[in-house]
Structure 1
Amino acid sequence: MPSARGSRSGPAPKLGFVRRFGRTQRALHWVHAAAFFVLLATGVVLWLPALSVWVGRRSLVKEIHVWTAVAWAAAIALIIVSGDRKGLRADWREIERIDRDDRRWLLGRRAPQGRFNAGQKLNAIVTTAFALLFAASGVLLWLAVRDSRFRWDGPIVVHDALTLMSLALVLGHLYLALVHPTTRHALRGMTLGDVREDWARKHHPKWIEENERQTGV
């Protein structure tokens, strides 16, 4: 049975399934997702005056927002330091590699895909960039409350724009993960770690072929 490159942690997949994500990748995903929704909810309350008045206790909401961001950063760092760094590096190398088939896929043409299709690669790159920009602008906003030298419009404009773009991105992500019939099976990979081999062979044939070459199957 082939196993996914970069997904080395965890038990062997069941018969008819192939390992797609290990514990480290799944922990990163779910920590980021949980923090994102808490930050989004509290951020919207802080952003919209009417909602802020309705919810009340704005200072508490702000504290939750700030400390969730701190916990998110600490948890991400801990997972990376203590987890499968070799697998994460392999994942990122694959995500960064946009080949001819990926470019064809992005143009709407049929093209075989690897473990990450071109859309998933772009999503990972954009999500990472957004996370770094959120963190940087958030730190500047936090400093601005304490030091007038940091009070300028740039960080809040960036933070607000990122919120709107991230909301659009996550809605599309949720649709593909929960609703779309050909892609929602991928959610199993991020919850249990494995996916059906027949599904992977159909939607990610280059990944399966590479696994078979590596294992001699």
Structure 2
Amino acid sequence: MASRPRPAGRLTRFTRTERTLHWVHAGSFLAMLATGLILYLPALSTLVSRRNLVKNVHIWVAVAWLLAVLLVVLLGNRRALRETWREIETIDRDDRRWLRGRRVPQGRLNAGQKVNAILTVAFALLFALSGFFLWLGERDHRFLLAGTGTVHDALTFLSVGLLVGHLYLALIHPSTRHALRGMTTGAVDAGWAERHHPKWARAAVDEPLDPNEPRLR
């Protein structure tokens, strides 16, 4: 039986909608992290010395993040987002083996990326909920719930840990940093995809690349 030819060229990995959603979330998170650290750390708060302004920026960036995410979902390729989320929440046998340290074929997203995406969504929802009650509690003490600030702070430290690992793999680690191209240009080298995501690469080998995608769809 003849072996399947190895893919050549480039493969489309993420649509424009997926990339836009990623960068909206990443940019907003970094802005909220910077302003949040200024509010949390006394040394930075003293250095900046404009606490109220920083707090207002923190809040308005959060509002802008929520509105931008909604706009991307409403105006973008919702079908692609649904398919990606179904892929993320499907942890199959190979994914479980990969998480146990076994070298097994992976799809478009490996098990680590799926877990990272699930945690990112969960943290974002908890950030929004706890942040809302912190904001509301300052205006009406009836809504000042015990432990809300602790939850918000704990989420920050956990998110920083995820961010450091994500940046290391995306920018530094030699075998994985090529993946960043998929989130900037939408496409990755087919040979790299065959080595790291063979189940997806072999299925997508005949999918044409459309570098001139005209809309978010």
Q: Normalization by structure 1: what TM-score?
A: 0.90
d(CA) in 2 for partners of 1:51, 1:90: 42
* % identical aligned pairs: 61
The number of residues matched between the two structures is 201
Measured after TM superposition, the shift of residue 211 of structure 1 is 2.5
Cα deviations by residue, 1:63-116 (Å, 9 ceiling, x for unpaired) = 000000000000000000100000000000011110111011000010000000
Equivalent in 124, 127, 130 of residue 123 of structure 2? 130
Aligned to 1:112: 105
Deviations 1:107-144 (A, max 9, x none): 00100000000000000000000000000000000001
Partner Cα distance (2:79, 2:30) in 1: 29
2:106 is aligned with what amino acid?
Answer: Q
Give the 3-state SS of the residue equivalent to 1:183 in structure 2. coil
State the superposition RMSD in angstroms.
1.4
Superposition deviation, residue 170 in structure 1: 0.1
Q: 2:201 aligns with which of 184, 208, 212?
A: 208
Distance, in Å, in 2 between the alignment partners of 1:212 and 1:52 is 52
Deviations 1:132-175 (A, max 9, x none): 00000000000011001011332101100000000010000000
Which residue of structure 2 aligns with residue 145 of structure 1? 138
> Which AA in structure 1 matches 2:53?
L
Larger RCO, structure (CA 8 Å, separation 6 or more):
2
Q: Which of 144, 148, 160 is the aligned partner of 2:153?
A: 160
Where structure 1 has 5 or more consecutive residues not aligned to the other structure, the ranges are 1-14
Q: Give the SS at the match of 1:140.
A: helix
Amino acid at match of 1:168: G
How far apart are the structure 1 equivalents of 2:191 and 2:168?
22
Q: State the alpha-carbon separation in 2 of the partners of residues 150 and 95 from structure 1.
A: 35
- Measured in 2, the distance between the counterparts of 1:125 and 1:213 equals 29
CA distance in 2, matches of 1:211, 1:158: 42
Corresponding residue of 2:167: 174
Name the structure 2 match of 1:83: 76
**Structure 2 CA distance, aligned partners of 1:47 and 1:153?**
18
**What one-letter code is carried by the residue in structure 2 that aligns with 1:76?**
V
Aligned to 1:139, the other structure's residue is in SS state helix
Are residues 1:24 and 2:17 paired? yes
Query: Secondary structure at the residue paired with 1:18?
Result: strand
Give 1:90-105 correspondences, 5 Å limit.
Answer: 90-105=83-98
Q: What 5-or-longer segments of structure 2 have no aligned partner?
A: 1-7, 209-217
**Runs of 4+ with >4 A deviation:** 212-215
Structure 2 length-normalised TM:
0.90
